[in-house]
């Protein structure tokens, strides 16, 4: 999968007498969409500030593309777009002004800067609002404008801290779909959040953080699964499934249980090939398969197991 785009090795960070991050180590490969999930105060934002070169670790190493964002800031951050904190922008500033300014900071000039700004606006779905004052935009459009600024020049890595925070459900869903499309285009995403739904909708892999320590590193659902991990998927059918069909779906080495008259949960070994074989069995048997997806509630269950019920979102 190539050399890591992001790598932390044994990182510790303290503020006063409080340890915020302790022996934190993980790596992100090119093209991965990784969620960083934990309650408020777990150390997620501190990690983002370390990766952005806004803080230095007290111990350990931080690398972006192999470079230290403190000692070799220019090369480390050359291919990075980040939204780590929400800036206070003048209400009269337009998204076109903002994106053009960021494009010039990234080395574009003249018509190429304008073109880079327009591409970023289109990519994040704000093209019709590029010339409206920032203060007149909805919260959702303001958030998209900030994300578009991070995406100017199509950097290969995006670092995002709570990108859907404060949005209404409709705007949050729209933004999640846009971010998933960005991930599908090959951009590496590191998405820090305390919202399970953000990770489920956007990411392939999730890191669980609790009190500054990494307590889990695993696949999110059915899009991608590490070798050797059992996969759980929910299948929904257009009509009630007869009992003999459960045995068919369980063959040869999968476990199948009914969730409702029209839906089942199947757990099996293997990755995408095993899942494709499961779908093929259903189709060959003439079962009216309507949908297949990650096991509902699976990420919430794993969050509770690793982080704890009293801190769950």
* Buried-state track 257-294, b at ≥16 Cβ within 10 A, e below 16: eeeeeebbbbebebbeebbeebeebbeeeebebeeeeb
In the predicted model, what is the mean pLDDT of residues 163-174?
86
- The pair of three-digit structure tokens given for residue 242, joined into one six-digit string: 């007869």
CA dist 81 and 161 (Å) reads: 12
Residue 300 pLDDT class (50, 70, 90 cuts): confident
Instruction: Report the DSSP beta bridge partners of residue 232.
Output: 267
pLDDT above 60: residue 310: no
Report domain 231-294's class. Answer: alpha beta
Residue-level pLDDT at 295 = 63
Angle CA(301)–CA(305)–CA(309) in degrees, nearest 5?
Answer: 85
Residue 222 pLDDT class (50, 70, 90 cuts): very low
Phi, psi of 296 (to 5 degrees): -60, 135
CA distances from 231 to 30, 168, 265, 303 (A): 23, 32, 10, 17
pLDDT above 80: residue 45: yes
Angle CA(30)–CA(196)–CA(266) in degrees, nearest 5?
Answer: 85
Check the CA dihedral 102-103-105-106 and report its sign: positive
In the predicted model, what is the mean pLDDT of residues 3-26?
95
For residue range 237-293, what is the model confidence (pLDDT) as tens digits? 988 888 888 888 887 777 888 888 888 888 887 667 778 888 888 888 888 888 887
Residue-level pLDDT at 32 = 93
Residue 227 pLDDT class (50, 70, 90 cuts): very low
Residue with tokens 């609790």: 210
Closest CA to 52 of 73, 33, 31: 73
Report domain 6-219's class. Answer: alpha beta
In the predicted model, what is the mean pLDDT of residues 124-138?
94
pLDDT above 50: residue 48: yes
Least confident among 49-58, 99-108, 196-205: 196-205
pLDDT above 70: residue 78: yes
Residue 73 pLDDT class (50, 70, 90 cuts): very high
296 phi-psi bin (left φ>0, alpha ψ -120 to 50, beta other): beta
CA dist 10 and 306 (Å) reads: 20
How many other CB atoms sit within 10 Å of the CB of residue 75?
14
pLDDT above 60: residue 224: no
For residue range 90-125, what is the model confidence (pLDDT) as tens digits? 999 999 999 999 999 999 999 999 999 999 999 998
Three-state SS string over 2-25 comes to CCCCEEEEEEEEEECCEEEEEEEE
Mean pLDDT of the chain: 87
What percentage of the chain's residues is helix, strand, coil (to nearest 5)?
Answer: 35, 25, 35
- The pair of three-digit structure tokens given for residue 82, joined into one six-digit string: 């980040």
Give ranges for CATH 3.40.50.300 in the chain: 6-219
Angle CA(142)–CA(77)–CA(2) in degrees, nearest 5?
Answer: 110
Least confident among 3-7, 91-95, 195-199, 275-279: 275-279
CA dist 246 and 29 (Å) reads: 38
């Amino acid at each position: 999968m190539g050399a890591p785009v992001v790598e932390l090795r044994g990182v510790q960070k303290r503020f006063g007498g409080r340890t915020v991050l302790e022996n934190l180590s993980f790596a992100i490969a090119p093209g991965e969409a990784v969620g960083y999930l934990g309650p408020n105060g777990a150390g997620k934002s501190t990690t983002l500030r370390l990766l952005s070169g806004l803080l230095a670790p007290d111990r350990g190493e931080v690398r972006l593309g192999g470079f230290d964002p403190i000692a070799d800031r220019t090369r480390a951050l050359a291919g990075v777009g980040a939204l780590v904190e929400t800036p206070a922008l003048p209400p009269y500033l337009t998204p076109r002004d903002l994106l053009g300014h960021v494009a010039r900071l990234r080395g574009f000039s003249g018509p190429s800067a304008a073109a880079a700004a327009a591409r970023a606006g289109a990519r994040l779905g704000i093209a019709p609002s590029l010339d409206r004052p920032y203060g007149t935009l909805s919260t959702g459009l303001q958030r998209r404008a900030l994300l578009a600024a991070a995406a100017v020049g199509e950097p290969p890595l995006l670092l995002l801290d709570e990108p859907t925070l404060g949005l209404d459900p409709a705007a949050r869903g729209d933004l999640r779909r846009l971010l998933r499309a960005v991930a599908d285009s090959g951009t590496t995403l590191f998405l820090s959040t305390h919202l399970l739904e953000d990770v489920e909708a956007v990411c392939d892999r999730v890191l669980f953080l609790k009190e500054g320590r990494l307590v889990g590193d695993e696949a999110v659902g059915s899009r991608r699964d590490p070798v050797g991990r059992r996969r759980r998927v929910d299948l929904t059918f257009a009509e009630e499934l007869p009992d003999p069909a459960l045995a068919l779906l369980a063959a040869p080495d999968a476990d199948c249980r009914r969730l409702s008259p029209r839906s089942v949960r199947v757990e099996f070994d293997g990755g995408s090939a095993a899942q494709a074989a499961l779908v093929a069995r259903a189709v060959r048997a003439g079962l009216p398969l309507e949908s297949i997806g990650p096991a509902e509630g699976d990420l919430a269950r794993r969050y509770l197991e690793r982080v704890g019920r009293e801190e769950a979102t």
